[in-house]
Amino acid sequence: MRSTCVALALLLCAFLPSNAEAANEADYRSGIAQIAAKYGAKRAWFRAEQAGTALASVAIGGGTPNDGIQVASLTKSITAIATALLIQDGKISLDTTLGEVLPATFKRKGYTLAASLQPITIRCLLSHTAGLKTNYASDPIHGVASNPIFKRLSNNATVFEYIIAADANRSDGRSKFVYSNFSYSFLGLVIEAVSGKPYEVFCTERIFKPLGIADASIQGRWHGTAPYAGWRISTASMLKIWTSVFDRQNPTLLTAKTLDETLLAKLGEPRGANHDAYYTLGVNVRQNDDRSAYRIWHNGIADLFWDNDRYTYMEQTVPGVTWIVVIDRQPAAEQRSKLSGDVRALVEKLSGQ
């Protein structure tokens, strides 16, 4: 009997966190709570992983770590992965133009694909160099609920209807980097036209199911913004996507060759103070010369409908730690880099990165 009890105790210990692990998560919780308060947030979610192991998964101010989060522009990385899968399948290439894939879609809906859109390539859309509308009131980033153009649309409006309502079905022909949500709206149309499946179905079948993710959804009015801001998903599932797909040393859905040609191909034009960052596969990327190490990052602002104010920032260092933070208050533009810097400092301190 005594030997049985000892064996049971040892078995339980194997599945219980050590004091060091518990203390580490407590340190993360305390640190995230302090950072959230610093930026005026009452609620926050945070998760960090390294080498397939969760370092911390916490929720501050109510809720649970498993809550679905409207991840806003982090959606772009999901849309980009879907696009890269079609490239990997040989269905399209980075040089495929909208004129090759979208005329039938426009004709079916009673429109003609504008001449200015015909030469735009997948490469341009992925890297925000397509000359599409941005920084205007018609861009959904300025708030769908507060915009008279979008108020005329029903709650069931489609991506195509959003593009037409915003008069975004044209390009100014410029190839400079200009962040445009409409670039990824058009990628959503491309995914549907090439795959023959609805955008949400394609992402579910080709990304979420293979990764074992069951909590991703697009809800209500977010369907119209689906390819650039629509997904609602837990922090754990969002991390699983990035850690599974964007690690070139351990490729899964996308091969190392595909990652070399997309994520690490320095698409578009160099950005940042040192001109060493690129916007490539729905994320910002900075890498060393031999591609053995790189950092990717993106933020998301989920306030389009005035009923869900969330600010999300996610970062992955390969090799290293991947983490995501979400707060229920959108920081001022000049504070966003400070927020991510504070969280990064906490992660580096506690993970030893």
pLDDT tens, per residue, the chain with 353 residues: 444 443 433 333 433 444 445 558 899 999 999 999 999 999 999 999 999 899 999 999 988 999 999 999 999 999 999 999 999 999 999 999 999 999 999 999 999 999 999 999 999 999 999 999 886 655 666 555 556 666 777 778 899 998 998 888 999 999 999 999 999 999 999 999 999 999 999 999 999 999 999 999 998 888 988 999 999 999 999 999 999 999 999 999 999 999 999 999 999 999 988 899 999 999 999 998 877 899 999 999 876 665 566 899 999 999 999 999 999 988 888 899 999 999 999 999 998 76
9 part of a folded domain: no
CB-based contact 322:237 (threshold 8 Å): no
Residue 11 lies in a domain: no
Measured in whole angstroms, how far is the alpha carbon of residue 236 from the centre of its chain?
A: 13
**Is residue 223 domain-resident?**
yes
In a domain, 3, yes or no: no
Give the span between the Cα atoms of 279 and 18, in whole angstroms.
40
Range of the domain at 45: 20-61+68-351
Alpha carbons within 13 A on the beta-carbon side of 254: 30
Residue 211 · residue 241 · CB < 8 Å = yes
Give the C-alpha separation, 115 to 118, whole Å.
Answer: 5
For 4-39, give one letter per residue: b (16+ CB within 10 A) or e: eeeeeeeeeeeeeeeeeeeebbeebbebbbebbeeb
Q: How far is CA 68 from CA 14, 21, 45, 89, 235, in A?
A: 30, 25, 10, 31, 8
pLDDT of residue 14: 39
Domain contains 162: yes
For the beta sheet containing 231-233, the strands, ordered from the edge strand earlier in sequence to the opposite edge, are 69-70, 231-233, 217-218
Asked, for residue 118, whether it belongs to a domain, the answer is yes
| pLDDT value of position 138 | 59
Q: Tell if the pTM clears 0.85, that is, is over it.
A: yes
The reported pLDDT for the residue numbered 33 is 96
Residue 270: helix, strand or coil by DSSP? coil
Tell me 330's DSSP state. P
Strands 53-60 and 217-218: unpaired
Find the CATH number of the domain harbouring 44: 3.40.710.10
Q: What is the pLDDT of residue 8?
A: 35
Q: Looking at residue 147, what is its pLDDT?
A: 65
State which H helix or E strand residue 344 sits in: helix 333-351
CA dihedral 193, 197, 201, 202 (to 10 degrees): -60
Domain membership flag for residue 293: yes
Angle at 337 between CA 77 and CA 250, to 5 degrees: 35
Q: Are 171 and 130 in contact (CB under 8 A)?
A: yes
Whether 2 is in a domain gets the answer: no
pLDDT at 173: 93
Report the number of distinct structural domains present in the chain: 1
pLDDT at position 333, please? Answer: 83
Short-list 185, 263, 260, CA closest to 227: 185
